[in-house]
Chain A
Amino acid sequence: MSHARKERWTAFLILLPSIILLGIFVYGFIAWTMRVSLSKWDGITPDYTWVGFENFHRLFSKDIGGVAAIRFRIDLWNTFFFTVLFLLACVGVGMLLAILLDQRIRGEGVFRTVYLFPMSLSFVVTGVVWQWIFSPGTASRPRGVNALLGMMGLEQLQWRWFTSTESIGPFHLALIPVIVAAAWQMTGYTMAMYLAGLRGIPEELREAARVDGATETQVYRRIIMPMLRPITLSALIVLGHISLKIFDLIYTMTGKGPGFVTDVPGIFMFETTFQGNHYAQGAAISIVMLLMVALVVVPYLVTSMRGEVER
């Protein structure tokens, strides 16, 4: 074997343990979960009897699945509204804060630290704290934000927060406090990304536009915003996939809620599998989650990789 070839083999061998581990723990286990989702396994002991897509039918058809189908339908709507509003909040506020911080601000470092520190916390910590803040208490003994509203004489604004069963169409208002908590935690991330992007735009470019008579607003709308578009895309994908698989935060903050008002597939899967021992059903839920995430992430990975090869 030639020297170069031998070294190429060595390179591959160094990677091999990781390839094997991820091959088993990611791809092998996904295949295994798919197999479970097509089985009859319902109880502590595994039962791999083939039942086709029955577990999926139970999730999507009320006639077959009953409560499971009703719950899953609510979960998908909750995921949809949670994702849309959470992304809007993170991108909107994150971009606003980044633009504000880009105006040669005294004490920029302090502001940045304050906006970003929630990122370093666990979703569990966030969930517990915001549960205390938004827990409604009772009408005679209001708690959290309700207590604060009472102190300010704004009793008419008190409501049941994440325990509320009110909804506008399929949108459960109980999700709002959860979205606030999630956005509180992740807005710093988009801010940091946009700020890094803004710092990457050469000052000469802005200067040139100003010389040409562009107002500050025009500089932002015509030059800076379009340059930030790739960042928005990355942020949407990173945050979007987090929100599609969200579990810890909602599980600690509210759980599934009354009438599943704050339920999501992550919680449904966890309870079905590890508390109810309905393994096949749980596996089916997780495969739907995987497909949703893959739909967002795979195109992104493919285009990133392509772009890199072309570079």
Chain B
Amino acid sequence: MSARRSFDPMRLGIYLLLILFAMLFLVPVYVMLVSSFKPFAEVQDLSRMWLPPKAPTLESFQAAWFGVPEKGLRGLSLNIFNSLKLTIPATIISSLLGSMNGYILSKWKFRGADLIFALMLFGMFIPYQSILIPLTRVIATIGLGGTIWGLILVHVVYGIPITTLIFRNYYAEVPTEMIEAARIDGAGIFKVYWKVLFPLSMPGFVVVIIWQFTSIWNEFLFAVTILQRPELQPITVALRNLAGSQIKEWNLVMAGTLIAAMPTLIIYIILGRYFIRGLLAGSVKG
């Protein structure tokens, strides 16, 4: 296609369609913003639901973050910190495991390695309901029931398939000659990893860390079954409780959703390129 500068109704239509879809995709963001910046009195006026706040206020954010003790409302700040305490260790451990596994499964294939890999991958597709009953039992038996460490263990284990998959595909691109060369110099299995693969791994780690951070931060089913105590719950469970409570202050709830969404949203906006790579890697072949 050469540069056709003249007016083209077809292209105008394309742009209009793209803009229309963009506006539709942003409707929930609009609703979150206009509701959360209103005081309770205004959000109750349903005829104004779609209108911007008369006088924007941060009081909903303040109440959602710090809580309102006289109404028995716990602040979400606590849950944000719980989510961080859970997500950061689980992300780091599962990424390191995935890196080692991916290294072995791409560069040190032994007989049956592909079968083992396929069996590992199946673990990321199963509905977790089908392992939840034994899981809660075992976590309780080994003394981790109702603790953040129990949930970390769960996320590490069920994170292995996807982290292994992404690293395996990533390391497959590293030329085997580089590894042969290091081996001729007498490097063993660990030294090859440490001297050759690991220094090349940064983009791979960025993709995997973003992926794991986002999925663990956003996860709900494991968190709600394993962590019953409100003061330990991560943000997703707390948000659902806030939205499910009897007296629904929608300004507060919407401020809560923005708070819960902020960390992964910021990562996505800054590092979107890597986020998409993780996304595409999820479809097995990458």
Is there an interface contact between A15 and B261, defined as CB atoms closer than 8 Å? Answer: no
Chain B residues near A32: list those with CB within 8 A: 133-134
Residues of chain A whose beta carbon lies under 8 Å from any beta carbon of chain B: 7-8, 10-12, 14-15, 17-19, 21-22, 25-30, 32-33, 36, 93, 97, 100-101, 103-105, 111, 113-133, 137, 141-144, 147-148, 150-151, 184, 189, 192-193, 196, 234-235, 237-238, 241, 244-245, 247-248, 251-252, 265-266, 269-270, 273-274, 279, 282-283, 285-287, 289-290, 293-294, 297-298, 300-302, 304-305, 307-309
Residue B108 is within 8 A (CB to CB) of chain A in the complex: yes
* Distance in angstroms between the alpha carbons of A21 and B268 in the assembled complex: 31
A–B Cβ pairs within 8 angstroms, 8 of them = A17-B97, A117-B265, A122-B220, A122-B264, A127-B240, A245-B128, A251-B240, A273-B132
Bits for B250-285, please: 1 = Cβ < 8 Å to A, else 0.
100110110011001101110010011001101111
CB distance from B236 to the nearest CB of A (A): 4
CB distance from B281 to the nearest CB of A (A): 11
Known: A104-B1, A120-B267. A26 touches B50 (CB 8 A): no
CB distance from A280 to the nearest CB of B (A): 9
* Distance in angstroms between the alpha carbons of A36 and B132 in the assembled complex: 11
**Chain B interface, DSSP helix/strand/loop, else mixed:** helix
Is there an interface contact between A122 and B122, defined as CB atoms closer than 8 Å? Answer: no
Residue B63 is within 8 A (CB to CB) of chain A in the complex: no
CB distance from A106 to the nearest CB of B (A): 8
User: Which residues B133-160 have CB closer than 8 A to chain A?
Assistant: 133-135, 138, 157-158, 160
Is there an interface contact between A30 and B280, defined as CB atoms closer than 8 Å? Answer: no
Is there an interface contact between B135 and A25, defined as CB atoms closer than 8 Å? Answer: yes
Residue B121 is within 8 A (CB to CB) of chain A in the complex: yes
Chain A residues near B104: list those with CB within 8 A: 11, 14-15
Is there an interface contact between A290 and B127, defined as CB atoms closer than 8 Å? Answer: yes
Is there an interface contact between B157 and A21, defined as CB atoms closer than 8 Å? Answer: yes
Is there an interface contact between A286 and B110, defined as CB atoms closer than 8 Å? Answer: no
Q: Which of B18, B138, B254 contacts A105 (CB 8 A)?
A: B18
Chain A residues near B280: list those with CB within 8 A: 192-193, 196
CB distance from B251 to the nearest CB of A (A): 10
Known: A129-B32, A129-B254. A286 touches B127 (CB 8 A): yes
Is there an interface contact between A28 and B114, defined as CB atoms closer than 8 Å? Answer: no
Known: A123-B220, A137-B46, A305-B118. A113 touches B131 (CB 8 A): no
CB distance from A121 to the nearest CB of B (A): 5
Q: Which of B14, B108, B260, B268 contacts A124 (CB 8 A)?
A: B260
Is there an interface contact between A287 and B279, defined as CB atoms closer than 8 Å? Answer: no
Is there an interface contact between B240 and A115, defined as CB atoms closer than 8 Å? Answer: no
Chain B residues near A147: list those with CB within 8 A: 46-47, 49-50
Residues of chain B whose beta carbon lies under 8 Å from any beta carbon of chain A: 1, 11, 14-15, 17-18, 21-22, 25-28, 31-32, 35, 46-47, 49-50, 97, 100-101, 103-105, 108, 110, 114, 116-123, 125-135, 138, 157-158, 160-161, 164, 188-189, 214, 217-221, 225, 236, 239-240, 243-244, 250, 253-254, 256-257, 260-261, 264-265, 267-269, 272, 275-276, 279-280, 282-285
* Distance in angstroms between the alpha carbons of A133 and B119 in the assembled complex: 42
* Distance in angstroms between the alpha carbons of A118 and B26 in the assembled complex: 9
Known: A128-B253, A274-B225, A285-B129. A18 touches B101 (CB 8 A): yes
Q: Which residue of A has the minimal Cβ distance to B103?
A: A14
Is there an interface contact between B21 and A97, defined as CB atoms closer than 8 Å? Answer: yes
Q: Which residue of A has the minimal Cβ distance to B160?
A: A18
Is there an interface contact between B133 and A234, defined as CB atoms closer than 8 Å? Answer: no
Max count, chain B CB within 10 A of own CB: residue among A25, A130, A274, A308: A25
Chain A residues near B103: list those with CB within 8 A: 14
Is there an interface contact between A133 and B221, defined as CB atoms closer than 8 Å? Answer: no
* Distance in angstroms between the alpha carbons of A125 and B239 in the assembled complex: 8
Query: What 9 A-B pairs have minimum CB-CB distances, sorted nearest first?
Result: A122-B218, A245-B127, A120-B268, A29-B131, A11-B108, A286-B129, A32-B134, A290-B130, A26-B123
Known: A286-B127, A309-B114. A235 touches B283 (CB 8 A): yes
Q: Which residue of B has the minimal Cβ distance to A203?
A: B1
Is there an interface contact between B28 and A129, defined as CB atoms closer than 8 Å? Answer: yes
CB distance from A13 to the nearest CB of B (A): 10
Is there an interface contact between A10 and B240, defined as CB atoms closer than 8 Å? Answer: no
Is there an interface contact between B129 and A245, defined as CB atoms closer than 8 Å? Answer: yes
